[in-house]
Amino acid sequence: MYGKPALGTVLPLAGLTAAPEVLPGIPFARGLQEAAGAGFLLYCAIAVILLSAKMYYVLRNPGDPS
């Protein structure tokens, strides 16, 4: 009970870390993760472009009445 963990609780975890390609769905999940990362980078790039354009127009027209 206390001390060493049961053998059945350690071996499945060791098997998952040794060969993750054996599990079904891992390549699909990896592809989803890559697509999410690319989408986040695209979102950040668009946000930087829009903020840069806004700052450009604000600094270009300092006396513009609002």
- Per DSSP, 25 falls in state T
The ranges assigned to domains in the chain are: 39-66
Widest CA span in the chain: 76
Torsion sign (Cα): 51, 54, 60, 63: negative
Residue 64 in tokens: 């513009």
- Identify the pLDDT of residue 49: 98
Question: Is the pTM here over 0.75, yes or no?
Answer: no
Give the type of residue at 38.
A
The tens-digit pLDDT sequence of the chain (66 residues) is 566 666 555 555 555 555 555 667 788 888 899 999 999 999 999 999 999 999 999 899 877 565
**Angle subtended at Cα 18 by Cα 22 and Cα 36, rounded to the nearest 5 degrees:** 65
